[in-house]
A and B are shown apart, each in its own frame.
Chain A
Amino acid sequence: MKRLRLVVQLLFTIVTNGYAYGFLNGKIYQGRLKYTCVPGLNCYSCPGALASCPLGALQALLNQQGFQIPFGMLGFFFLFGSLLGRMICGWMCPFGLVQDLLHRIPLFHKRKKMPFHSVLKYGKYAVLVFLVLIGSSFLFGGFAKMPAFCKFLCPSGTLFGALPLLGSNEMLRSQAGGLFWWKLGILLLILALSVKVYRPFCQYLCPLGAIYGWFNGFSLVQIRWEKEQCILCGACQKACPVDLAVDEISISAECIRCGKCVTACPRDCLSFRKKV
């Protein structure tokens, strides 16, 4: 399961960022696939990106003149969320993959959670409300709306967009100022933290995780628990990278459906199932 997930994550990242010409020339893909979004956090200014970022797209709709309900992105979130929930985070997010790989580095004593986890885990909802929704609608920019999450926080944009573009485009590099260094600082902090703590950005800051987490309780793909067979040995909680108890697995908004609990269960009472 662990290897399968890694293969899926790698394939998904490579295929959705397959525009090699962009990396070589410091340009981005401008074809028709950009009418659609990838489900995970994948900056559309990554030179290789073949489709749009769902959070960037949501903010683009909120940034329009006057207020419009962003039906297109609501539909996208309902469709993917209802089918997969946060399995998208665990299996299809390029920035999640980066954090997963960093957490494998055998340095430091690994931690599943940050101190004050029970409070910090609500950070992603605050980011969703204040930066993505309110920030993009009116607050920070006054009448000149802006994609506040992309501008001030998104580490995926810095890693997959800014660094390759600035590395290969002299003109863009000459314009990088304080804001770039601020975002680079955030990226480096999150990457460094990822070596010790499991997916700190996903657990505490990612607004996309906050959105998909809402669908976890009723999405089609679930991890089912056969209660009658369970001996409550705790092997699943020990294996769970976000420390969920057996009765929280799958329905909790924190579960990214990584499947480590399924592999760890000695009685096979946890399994991936479709909810039909």
Chain B
Amino acid sequence: MDFLKNKSHRWLWGVLAGILFLGAGAAKGQFSVIFRKAVMICLECIGIG
């Protein structure tokens, strides 16, 4: 636990939070939303929509 308490290991807390958030996002189906958007041509991105 001392390893995690060390201030210079704050990046590790960030990684753990990242993994946790990714899991929460996956559980809520957010990656399907991203997929559905990314496989269609984004008309806003190309200045048409």
A177 touching B48, Cβ below 8 Å: yes
Select the residue from B28, B38, B39 with max chain A CB neighbours within 10 A.
B38
Q: How many A-B residue pairs have CB under 8 A?
A: 163
Q: Are A68 and B28 in contact (CB under 8 A)?
A: yes
Cα distance, A108 to B19, chains bound together (Å): 46
Q: In the docked arrangement, what's the CA distance between A165 and B28, Å?
A: 33
Inter-chain contact A79/B22, CB cutoff 8 Å: yes
A227 at the interface (CB under 8 A from B): no
Q: How far is the CA of A51 from the CA of B31 in the complex (A)?
A: 12
Q: How far is the CA of A61 from the CA of B25 in the complex (A)?
A: 10
- Determine whether B1 belongs to the interface, using a CB cutoff of 8 Å to chain A: no
Contact B45 A161 (CB under 8 A): yes
Q: Give min CB distance, B19 to chain A, whole Å.
A: 7
Q: Do B46 and A76 have beta carbons less than 8 Å apart?
A: no
- CB of A56 within 8 A of CB of B14, answer no
Q: Which residue of A lies closest to B46 (CB)?
A: A162
User: Assuming A56-B38, A73-B34, A218-B11, what are 10 further A-B pairs, CB within 8 angstroms?
Assistant: A61-B30, A70-B25, A71-B22, A74-B21, A146-B44, A151-B49, A162-B47, A172-B46, A175-B48, A218-B14
User: What's the least CB distance linking B44 to chain A, in Å?
Assistant: 4
CA distance A245 to B49 in the complex (A): 44
Inter-chain contacts of A220 with B (CB < 8 A):
11, 15
B14 near A215 with CB under 8 A, answer yes
A13-51 contacts to B (CB < 8 Å): 28-30, 32, 34-37, 43-45, 51
A30 to B15, CA, bound (A): 29
Within 8 Å of chain B (Cβ to Cβ): is A138?
no
